Structure 1
Amino acid sequence: MKSTITDVAKLAGVSIKTVSRVINMEDSVTEETLNRVSQAIKQLNYQPNNAARNLKGTNSYTLGFVYDNPNAYYIIEMQEGILAECHERGYELIIHPCKANQVNIVSEIKAMAKRSQLAGLVISPPLSETPEVLAAIEELDLSYVRIISGCKDSVEPTPCVFIHDREAAYKITEHLIEQGHRDIAFIGGDKGHHSTDERLSGYLAALKDHDIQVNTDFVVDGQYTFDSGATEAKKLLSLEHKPTAIFCCNDEIGAGALFAARLIGFDIPSQLAIAGFEDSPFSRQTWPQLTTAAQPTNLIARKAASLLISHIAAKRSKAKTGHAVTHQHFEPQLLVRESTRAESAQKPVA
């Protein structure tokens, strides 16, 4: 038979109300009681009935994940990370894809949040960087956590998970410089994504710190897609003065750039080095595999959900008069693979 909250209370030697406080992560529970009840929950494999919890009072135990991102791999990892944390903490998840640039985006998100009676939202770029969307969520008095591009010193008035794109982009560019490259091109991602700006900033900072003049012909706008990478790489490789390395704003762009370069006849990496960003499956499905910045998307998503649930609990707790804004930080790590491993930069074929 399925375990009940009464079974948990009996095994832990506490009241049903105390078990409820532990499940709801209220601050009034002592550490010793928390450990005892948590052990009983684990031993009995107790799963809270979220539908019943939602009906009993004003507190909801459903989170929402709102996103606009064409990268299926990124979205799958985000969903899996958030779901894992929800299952462990007794929450349900509603997934809501949308288009950030559509006219009615604000009313759409507000309607979804009200209809679903959400306790809170996890928001990823570019929605997490859209002032109109954030203002609408504030109007609903709804807890939320933003996943955004930032740096070690980033501070925001709301809970955030910061991805240190600038520092990671700096390290990728510096790696290319250390391989002997000075003619390094950059293919950007979608405009409107702060990650595009941050990764470009890291690239430019590395060039400056190594006394390399920026060639404006080498800095091109793109989109976070394979086709964009292929298109922009063809343009770069048609220049009279060609780059010997290309830093792509994500792995999907990098895979497209590598595909186009090989079709033209460039050997990778002896005639052209290519690096991506994020360590998505795209980086491992190319030949040679792409040097990239390993970004733990699943863990980032899980931490975002954990941060949100803790924020919701603190907001609900009657024992607290206020709650501190908490941030999490992640810096993608340089992962060197064969697409940039050359003894030195060589001139490309004419």
Structure 2
Amino acid sequence: MGEETASQRKPTIRTVAQRAGVSLKTVSRVINNEPSVLPATRARVLQAIAELDYEPDPSARNLRSSSAYVIGLVYDNPNPYHIIGMQNGVLAACRETGFGLQIHPCDATSPLLAEELVELVQRSRLAGLVLTAPMSERMDLVEALARAGVRATRIIAAAEDPADGYPCVYVDDRDAAYEITEHLIQLGHQRIGFLWGGQEHRSSSERYLGYEQALKDYGITLDKHLVIPGDYTFDDGFRGARRLLALRDPPTAIFGSNDEIAAGVLAAAKSAGMNVPYDLSIAGFEDSPFSRQSWPALTTAKQATEEIARHAARMLIASLRPDAPPVPNQGFVPQLVVRGSTAPVRPRAPSPANGEP
């Protein structure tokens, strides 16, 4: 006899029903989270699903049902670690609820993006979309999707709930950036450089506002020469740091808008023969692998990317059930993580290169 194929070994809904001692219809009701199942029966079916490691086929379920059981994750972000975290978070929520996931990269600046996403939802029979930045922060896009009947949950940067009638998970980047800047100030740094991420991302402006407010609260005059535009990339971090370190009065600390930027700053400092953190303190944002794999490891703000995305997907899926109460918007605040890339400022010896007498 031939070997059993992988598809034959894969548990089916019939296998689950036999293990739990219930009908196929009952298993289907549990998978679809229908309320008309007794708690003890639901528990028995869920136990059978776990024991068999059964995963519903959302594509087949879409074809059999008038309801859609696949959601979409829409993104346009140059940071691969951030996108991977988002994907993992949304996928975890889908697995919990028996939904499938379709990932859709796109151009956030496209004037035809709304039409593209509506067509995507209709063609792929998606139940709704999780929108990441910067698409999630384009209100024209959000409103166009709503007019077309597309359900969407946004992940946005905001200091508080926007309460604009559109579901969202909001991340208080401003408060976290304030805390990072305050940490540097309390180490004695007065000249703190700031490297922007992409200006089309609200997270970048929110992080800048936190930096600016901390300087103001501590009575430090903002020097525009210490603020450099750029994008959320290693290369822009490297280039921006080179510009800052070439100033007659360079900064003693640099805050990069994300860890990838900060890793670029670290590379620029090392290429200039600087000792980090004693010659230059460096901080990033997000707590990505860049922050942990650098040497020294980067001080940063830990952003629970996977949990943020997971909650956004849960919100979207909950909104698809007509009998479910609305899920309130939820906020997250990244937490300061102090590592070896920051230290108390060390006074510089007088030097003509620094413009000293």
- TM-score, normalised via structure 2 length: 0.88
Aligned twin of 2:109: 101
Deviation, 1:189, is 0.8
- On the 8 A contact 2:195/2:254 being kept in 1, the answer is yes
The answer to whether residue 120 in structure 2 is matched with residue 112 in structure 1 is yes
1:258 maps to amino acid: L
**Aligned pairs, how many?**
343
Aligned twin of 2:340: 338
Q: 1:266 to 1:7 in 2, by over 3 A?
A: closer
The answer to whether residue 110 in structure 2 is matched with residue 132 in structure 1 is no
2:270 aligns to what SS in structure 1?
helix
Quick one: distance in 2 between partners of 1:85 and 1:224?
27
Aligned twin of 2:264: 256
Shifted more, 9-18 versus 325-334: the winner is: 9-18
The answer to whether residue 348 in structure 2 is matched with residue 347 in structure 1 is yes
Deviation, 1:224, is 0.6
Aligned twin of 1:283: 291
Deviation, 1:154, is 4.6
Give the number of the structure with larger relative contact order, counting CA–CA contacts within 8 Å between residues 6 or more apart. 1
User: Cα RMSD (Å) of the superposition?
Assistant: 2.2
Deviation, 1:98, is 1.1
Deviation, 1:26, is 3.1
Q: How does 1:107-256 map to 2 (within 5 A)?
A: 107-256=115-264
Deviations 1:242-297 (A, max 9, x none): 21111110011111122122222332111211100011122233322211111122
Shifted more, 253-262 versus 154-163: the winner is: 154-163
Q: How does 1:4-153 map to 2 (within 5 A)?
A: 4-9=12-17, 11-12=19-20, 15-29=23-37, 31-153=39-161
Quick one: distance in 1 between partners of 2:244 and 2:200?
23
Shifted more, 149-158 versus 94-103: the winner is: 149-158
Quick one: distance in 1 between partners of 2:162 and 2:28?
36
Deviation, 1:79, is 1.6
2:104 aligns to what SS in structure 1?
strand
Gap regions ≥5 residues in structure 1: none
Deviations 1:81-120 (A, max 9, x none): 2223323321211111111112332222222221111011
Q: 1:176 to 1:46 in 2, by over 3 A?
A: same
- On the 8 A contact 2:255/2:284 being kept in 1, the answer is yes
2:254 aligns to what SS in structure 1?
strand
1:175 maps to amino acid: H
Question: Which of the numbers 322, 325, 329 marks the counterpart of 1:323?
Answer: 325
Gap regions ≥5 residues in structure 2: 1-8
- On the 8 A contact 1:185/1:246 being kept in 2, the answer is yes
- On the 8 A contact 1:110/1:140 being kept in 2, the answer is yes
Quick one: distance in 2 between partners of 1:149 and 1:96?
21
Quick one: distance in 1 between partners of 2:166 and 2:17?
36
- TM-score, normalised via structure 1 length: 0.90
1:299 maps to amino acid: E
